[in-house]
Structure 1
Amino acid sequence: MTSSFARLGVPTNLVDVLATFDIDTPTPIQAATLPDSLAGRDVLGRGRTGSGKTFAFALPVVARLAADRQRPAAGRPRALVLAPTRELAAQIADSLRPLAKADRLSLLTIFGGVNQNPQVRALRDGVDILVATPGRLLDLRDQGHLALSDVAVTVIDEADHMSDMGFLPGVKKILAATPTRSQRLLFSATLDNAVNVLVKQFLHDPVVHEADSAQSPVASMQHHVLTVDPADRLDVVADLTSAPGRTIVFTRTKHGAKKLAKQLVARGIPAVDLHGNLNQNARTRHLEAFGSGRVETLVATDIAARGIHVDDVALVVHADPPTEHKAYLHR
C-alpha cells in the first residue's frame, strides 16, 4: 500500500526514513502544506509547536536539494532554515539529519554562545543545508565567511517568536540577501502584523495553510488559578513540582528562574533552569536532563523555552503571570 506521505509527493527514500521512526501518517499541517511546498510554491503555514511543522519543511528542503544534485560551494549554503533560539535550531537539525543523510546532503547548525571557528571551518568545506539563528548568521556573513546567493529555499520557523524577540530586522536583511525568486516557507503559531509585513515583502504569491492553530485547545488540559500570598508562593510551587511527572515552571526574569531552581533543589526537588544567561553547554545539559526524565522540573523564562518540544509534560506552572495573552498560549 502506498504511504500517505508518498501520495503527497514525498520521495520514496524519505518515506522510508520516516518509517524507521514509525511516522507514516502526516499531521494536519504536513498534509496541508507538503503538496505545495514540494511543488516549489512559497508557503505560509500556521500551526503551533508540536504540530509537525519541522517535517513539513524538512521534507521539501531535502527533496529539492536532492533533485538539483549540485555540490555546495565554499561558504554558500543551498538551503537555509532560520530559528529564533539555539535549542530550536538544534532540535530542527536533529529532525533533518536522517533525511539529509539519506540523500548524502551535508548539514550544519550555527548559533551564538559557542566558538565560531568550527562553524567557519565547516562553512568553508561547503554546506547543503544551514540551520541558523539570525544573530550568528549575520555575524558570519558580515565577516565574509558566508554568502546567501546560492540559497534555493529558505525556511523561517516560529516567525512570531522571531518578532517577539526583536529579530525581524535581521531576518529581513537575511531574506534580502537570498535570491529574489528562491522558494520561501514561513511557519508561525500566530500571524500578527509584524509577521504579515514579512510575508508581504518576501513571499511570492504564497499559499496559506492553517492547521492546529495556537487557538486550538489541547483536548485534556485543565486550567487552575491559585491566589496565594507572596510569602506562600515558594511553598505552593514546591508542592506542585514535587508531584510525579514532568513540570515546567515559568518565571518572568532570568534571575528569577535561576533563584527558583536553586530554592527547589534546596528543598529536595531536582530542578534545572533554562534562561539566556546560561552558556550553551549548560543549556544543552539542563535540557537533556529534563528531556530524558532524570530531572522532572524545568524552571524557564518565556524566551528560553520558546519552540522547545518535550513530550509528556504533565503540568505547566506560571510562577510569574505572563505579561500578555500570547505568552500564555505559547507557554
Structure 2
Amino acid sequence: MSLDKLKLSKSLVTAMNDAGYISAKEIQAKTMSRIIGGQDIIAVGPEGCGKTTTYVLGVLMRLKYSTDEAPKVLILVPDQERVLAVIEEFRLLSKNRNLRIIGLYGTGGMDEVIQELLDGIDIVVATPTRARAVYLKLGLNLNRLQMLIVDDAEVIVKQGMQLPVCELARSAGKVQHLIFTTVVHDKLNLMIDQFMNFPTTLEVEDLGDSKAITHELLLYQVPNFKTKVNLLNLLLRDDEVFDKVVIFVNSRLTAQKLGKTLHSAKPGEVSVLKPLFFDEEGFDHIEDFKDTPEARVLVIANEGSANVDLSGIPFLFHFEVPEQKELFLSRVVKSDSEEIVAITFATDMELVDLRKIEQSLGAKIPVMDLPEDLVIDKVAKASTKIKTVKETVDAPKGGGAFHDKKESNTKDYNYGIGQKAKMTMKKKHG
C-alpha cells in the first residue's frame, strides 16, 4: 500500500522515504485513520510488523506545536533498550521538527530528569516503574496528556508491571489510549480493563511468504501448569496409541518434577533423561529408552538436548514452549518420511514465543479443543474479560487461549487425540 493513502503530512512522507520506508505496512493501513481520529485501539501484530513506526507516525500527526511545559504524550515500554529504540525512531521521522523528548528508565537519583521535565517536554518514553516513581515525586505532570501508549504490552504483563501502568493511566484521566501487543490474553485484558472502555481491536498476521514442511502439529491452549499436567495425564491414558512418547520441558528441575507427577500404571513406564538424582527412574542415553519395552514416556529437559536422536519416536510433546525457537523447529520440520505427531501445550504467557515459532513456520499451528473431562485448575485461571468493539471486516478474531476462534479454525466435530492419531498415522498395532 502506498504511503500517500495513510494521509500523512508531506513532511512525514518525505521523512519516511528518507528513512527507507517505501510502502505502508498492513498494521499502519488498518490503524492510522483511527489513531489520527483519536480513537482508543488495541493493535495486535507479530514482531516486526511495524507497530512502533505506526504509533510514532500517529503521534507526529496528532501532536501540535506548543510551549506548554507538561508532556502531551506518554509512551510506556518494558525496558531501557526499548526506550532508546523508540526515541531513535522519533528522531528518525521528525528531523524537521523541534521535538522535545525524554527517556525515563533505570533506578537511582532523578533530580536531573525532573528538572528537564519541568523545563518543558512534549513526549515521555519510559518504563512503567520509572515513570510511576517520577510521577510520585511530582516530577511528571499528566494534566495536559493527550495520548497514553503502551507498547510491547504482553511483555509488560509478563514482567508484572501492570500496577504502575494502571496507576499512571487512571491518573492521566481522559486521554487517547493505544495498546500495541503481539498477543491478547486474559491477563493483558485484566490490565487494559482498568482504564479502557470499548476499544477497537485490530489484528494483522505476518507469517511470511514461505511455509515449512512439518510433521503433524497440534496445539492445546491451557491456563496454567497444573492444567497442563492434568491434560498430559489424561492423554497418556491411551497407552495403545501413545506407546513411545518424548516430553520436552525447559529445565532439568521441571523434568524431575514432571517425571514424579505423571501417572504410571506399570513400573518403569515414566522416566527422565539424565535425571538430577541417581535414585530416579531415568536413562543416560535415549537409545536405552528406545530399546526398553516397558519404558513408554521419557521426559527431556531442553538444556543440552539439541542433539538428541528422536528417530523412531512417534509422539513428541512440548510441555513448555522452548525459549529458543530453533529447538522447536529442529524437531518438527520434516527431514525424512518418518511420521511424527508433535503436540504443544501453551499458556497465555507462552503465546508470544509461540507466535515467533509460527512466523518461522509460515503457518498457524491448529488449535485443539480441550477434552470435556479435563480438570482445569481454577486457582490461576482469570475469568474477567474486557468489553471490546471488534472489527467485523478484515480484522480476524482471536488471540488468547480463551477467546473466540476464527471461522477457519472452527469445526463441527471433535475428534479425540487418540482417534486423530490413529487416522493420521499407521500404527504397528493395527
TM-score range normalised by the length of the shorter chain: 0.5 to 0.7
Other-structure match for 1:116 = 110
Other-structure match for 1:266 = none
In the superposition, the TM-score normalised over structure 1's length comes to: 0.65
Write out per-residue CA displacement over residues 122-160 of structure 1, whole angstroms, 9 at most, x where no aligned residue. Answer: 212211011010000011111111121111111111212
Q: Give the Cα separation in 2 of the matches to 1:14 and 1:96.
A: 11
Residue pair 2:15, 2:95 contacting (<8 A) in 1 also: no
The answer to whether residue 195 in structure 2 is matched with residue 202 in structure 1 is: yes
Other-structure match for 1:188 = 181
- For residue 56 of structure 2, the aligned residue among 58, 72, 83 is 58
Other-structure match for 2:415 = none
Q: Give the Cα separation in 2 of the matches to 1:46 and 1:234.
A: 32
Residue pair 1:47, 1:53 contacting (<8 A) in 2 also: yes
- For residue 329 of structure 1, the aligned residue among 335, 348, 354 is 354
Other-structure match for 2:19 = 21
Residue pair 1:97, 1:107 contacting (<8 A) in 2 also: no
The answer to whether residue 26 in structure 2 is matched with residue 32 in structure 1 is: no
**What SS does the corresponding residue of 2:179 show, helix, strand or coil?**
strand
In structure 1, the gaps of 5 or more residues are: 239-251, 253-300, 306-314
Runs of 4 or more above 6 Å deviation: 222-228, 231-238
Residue pair 1:152, 1:179 contacting (<8 A) in 2 also: no
Other-structure match for 1:83 = 77
Residue pair 1:138, 1:170 contacting (<8 A) in 2 also: yes
Distance apart, 1:57 and its partner CA: 0.6
Q: Give the Cα separation in 1 of the matches to 2:28 and 2:158.
A: 25
Q: In structure 2, do the counterparts of structure 1 residues 317 and 91 end up closer, same or farther at CA, with 3 Å as the change threshold?
A: farther
Percent identity of paired positions between Structure 1 and Structure 2: 23
Count of aligned pairs between the two proteins: 250
Q: Give the Cα separation in 1 of the matches to 2:136 and 2:130.
A: 10
Write out per-residue CA displacement over residues 289-327 of structure 1, whole angstroms, 9 at most, x where no aligned residue. Answer: xxxxxxxxxxxx97xx9xxxxxxxxx7457xx9985425
Q: In structure 2, do the counterparts of structure 1 residues 195 and 217 end up closer, same or farther at CA, with 3 Å as the change threshold?
A: farther
Q: In structure 2, do the counterparts of structure 1 residues 170 and 223 end up closer, same or farther at CA, with 3 Å as the change threshold?
A: farther
Write out per-residue CA displacement over residues 212-253 of structure 1, whole angstroms, 9 at most, x where no aligned residue. Answer: 27xx47845688999896589887769xxxxxxxxxxxxx9x
Q: Give the Cα separation in 1 of the matches to 2:123 and 2:86.
A: 11
Q: In structure 2, do the counterparts of structure 1 residues 204 and 94 end up closer, same or farther at CA, with 3 Å as the change threshold?
A: same
Distance apart, 1:23 and its partner CA: 0.2
**What SS does the corresponding residue of 2:49 show, helix, strand or coil?**
coil
Q: Give the Cα separation in 2 of the matches to 1:205 and 1:235.
A: 47
Q: Give the Cα separation in 1 of the matches to 2:198 and 2:346.
A: 35
* Amino acid in the other structure paired with 2:202: H
> What is the aligned-residue RMSD (CA, Å)?
3.5
Q: Give the Cα separation in 1 of the matches to 2:247 and 2:17.
A: 44
Distance apart, 1:115 and its partner CA: 5.0
In the superposition, the TM-score normalised over structure 2's length comes to: 0.51
Q: Give the Cα separation in 2 of the matches to 1:136 and 1:328.
A: 26
Q: Give the Cα separation in 2 of the matches to 1:177 and 1:218.
A: 44
Other-structure match for 2:67 = 71
Q: Give the Cα separation in 2 of the matches to 1:155 and 1:18.
A: 21
Residue pair 1:32, 1:209 contacting (<8 A) in 2 also: yes
Q: Give the Cα separation in 2 of the matches to 1:322 and 1:121.
A: 50
Which is worse superposed, 81-90 or 53-62? 81-90
**What SS does the corresponding residue of 1:197 show, helix, strand or coil?**
helix
Residue pair 1:138, 1:174 contacting (<8 A) in 2 also: yes
- For residue 136 of structure 1, the aligned residue among 106, 109, 130 is 130
**What SS does the corresponding residue of 1:91 show, helix, strand or coil?**
helix
- For residue 212 of structure 1, the aligned residue among 205, 215, 221 is 205
Residue pair 2:19, 2:92 contacting (<8 A) in 1 also: no
Distance apart, 1:195 and its partner CA: 2.3
Residue pair 1:5, 1:25 contacting (<8 A) in 2 also: yes
The answer to whether residue 140 in structure 2 is matched with residue 146 in structure 1 is: yes
**What SS does the corresponding residue of 1:103 show, helix, strand or coil?**
coil
In structure 2, the gaps of 5 or more residues are: 216-245, 249-271, 275-283, 286-301, 308-319, 329-343, 357-430
Q: In structure 2, do the counterparts of structure 1 residues 190 and 218 end up closer, same or farther at CA, with 3 Å as the change threshold?
A: farther
Q: Give the Cα separation in 1 of the matches to 2:108 and 2:32.
A: 34
Distance apart, 1:207 and its partner CA: 2.5
**What SS does the corresponding residue of 2:129 show, helix, strand or coil?**
helix
Residue pair 2:71, 2:120 contacting (<8 A) in 1 also: yes
